[in-house]
Amino acid sequence: MRVHVNDLQAGDILQNDVFNQHGVHVLSAGTVLRERDIGILIGHLIDDIDIIAPTPFHSPQDHLTHTPTTRATIPSSTDSISSSSNHANSYEKLFPYYQDAVKSTNLLFHHALTNGRLVQEAVDYTITPLLEQFQQERDVVSLLLRLNSQDDYTCQHSVQVGMLSYYLATWLGHTKEDALRIGKAGYLHDIGKCQIDRDILNKPAPLTQEEYEQMKLHPLAGYQIIRSTYEDKWIAIAALQHHERIDGTGYPEGITGDNIHLVAKIVSVADVYSAMISSRTYQDKKDLLTVLKQMYQLSFSKLDPIITHTFIRYMLPNFLHKRVKLTDGRDGIIVMNHATEFFRPLIRVEQEFIDLTANRDLDIDYVYV
């Protein structure tokens, strides 16, 4: 009997061996599916499989036991993508893993909507290898822009926020273990959107007030889904509070300052950045320095200032050696950043060096990424 992966139940038995799209053996024929096995199938982007029903003369435990999953070897990323050739090579290596994660996220959202909970193994098989693969990546700015597209915004946004939350956690000094937890929290922060009307989620225009009120229900929905799945409160609280703001203007509870959990504050910064650089049809993609400038302004009222300034400081080196257009029309190259004036670096224009901290009449108009 052919069954979609989201309709599987614990106790179903595989009729045939299951292989993923890369030909990797996932589960063996005769495996009695447990919840973790269903998660593995989702994580490997398996859509439909053949199952046989248990006979009344045998319990599921009488059948063949679970066979461990075989996973493909993930190639290491390049240590640097400062040159265009290395950048392209890095993108070509990383894009399949990013694309698979986005597709798997779509299945996770559907499963959460259908079952009201997540499968932990499916989450782990989606986000953990991706975070490990991207650990050596240096040029976060260029990579995310190249990966970004107008398709599957919600799923792409979830993957990006997971990646950015992981990076930000490491920049703030968290251990690798905690950074992975925070990356997972970022990845699942929007899972409550599975309960929001898709016409609202995919609307190619700003939301009406009524639609916005419906959208504001997703943090609580996500909290409930995650709490039914995980004991880790970090993950649930990040979903609940990622739209809270330090001045109390956020939702769903309008809490302020230290009442917002640290992990939620980290995820909020990643969430805002990913949303600002998105390619949604009704939103013009902003210049990246403009995005960081806007986030800097938000750090004085909405976003945690220490977390936001840390994010900006670690993102700025990604702009070194990037070509820019100045407000006087000339093109130049960023050669050095300043520790205090984030957005006024040293620029080389042909053989001339222009320090924007000293030349206040000039500014960067655009960064070519």
What are the residues whose beta carbons fall under 8 Å from the beta carbon of 269, sequence distance 6 or more?
A: 164, 168, 295, 303, 304, 307, 308, 311
Contact 365, 356 (CB under 8 A): no
Three-state DSSP class for residue 187: helix
Cβ partners under 8 Å of residue 88, min gap 6? none
For residue 145, what pLDDT is reported? 63
Superfamily covering domain 2-62: Molybdopterin biosynthesis moea protein, domain 2 (3.90.105.10)
Provide the residue ranges of all domains of the chain, joining segments of one domain with +: 2-62, 84-317, 320-368
What whole-number distance in Å separates Cα of residue 222 and Cα of residue 236?
A: 7
d(CA 256, CA 107): 35
The pLDDT assigned to 251 comes to 97
Q: What is the C-alpha separation between 353 and 351, in angstroms, rounded?
A: 7
DSSP conformational letter for 248:
S
Concatenated DSSP letters for 81-130? --SHHHHHHHHHHHHHHHHHHHHHHHHHHHHHHHHSS--HHHHHHHHHHH
Angle between helices 153-171 and 305-315 (to 10 degrees): 100
Q: What is the DSSP string of 158-218?
A: HHHHHHHHHHHHHHTT--HHHHHHHHHHHHTTTGGGGGS-HHHHT-SSPPPHHHHHHHTTH
Work out the widest C-alpha separation in the chain, in whole angstroms. 85
Which tokens go with 96? 């399949």
Which helix (H) or strand (E) covers residue 2, if one does? strand 2-4
pLDDT at 203: 85
In this prediction, residue 73 carries a pLDDT of: 31
Residue located via tokens 């909405």:
302
pLDDT at 39: 72
Note the CATH number of domain 84-317: 1.10.3210.10
The pLDDT of residue 86 is 54
| Confidence at residue 63, expressed as pLDDT on a 0 to 100 scale | 33
Ordered per-residue pLDDT tens for the chain, 369 residues: 888 877 788 778 888 888 876 666 778 776 878 777 787 787 677 878 888 754 343 333 333 333 333 333 323 333 333 444 555 566 677 777 788 888 899 999 999 999 999 989 989 888 888 887 776 665 666 667 666 665 678 888 999 999 999 999 999 999 999 999 999 999 999 999 999 998 898 887 889 999 999 999 999 999 999 999 999 999 999 999 999 999 999 999 999 999 999 999 999 999 999 998 876 645 556 677 888 999 999 999 999 999 999 999 988 888 888 899 999 999 999 999 887 888 999 999 999 999 999 999 999 998 887
Contact 320/82 with Cβ under 8 angstroms? no
Strand partners, 18: 27
Fold match between 2-62 and 84-317? no
For the chain, how are helix, strand and coil distributed in percent, rounded to 5? 50, 10, 40
- What's this model's pTM, rounded to 2 decimal places? 0.76
Q: How far apart are CA 76 and CA 90, in angstroms?
A: 9
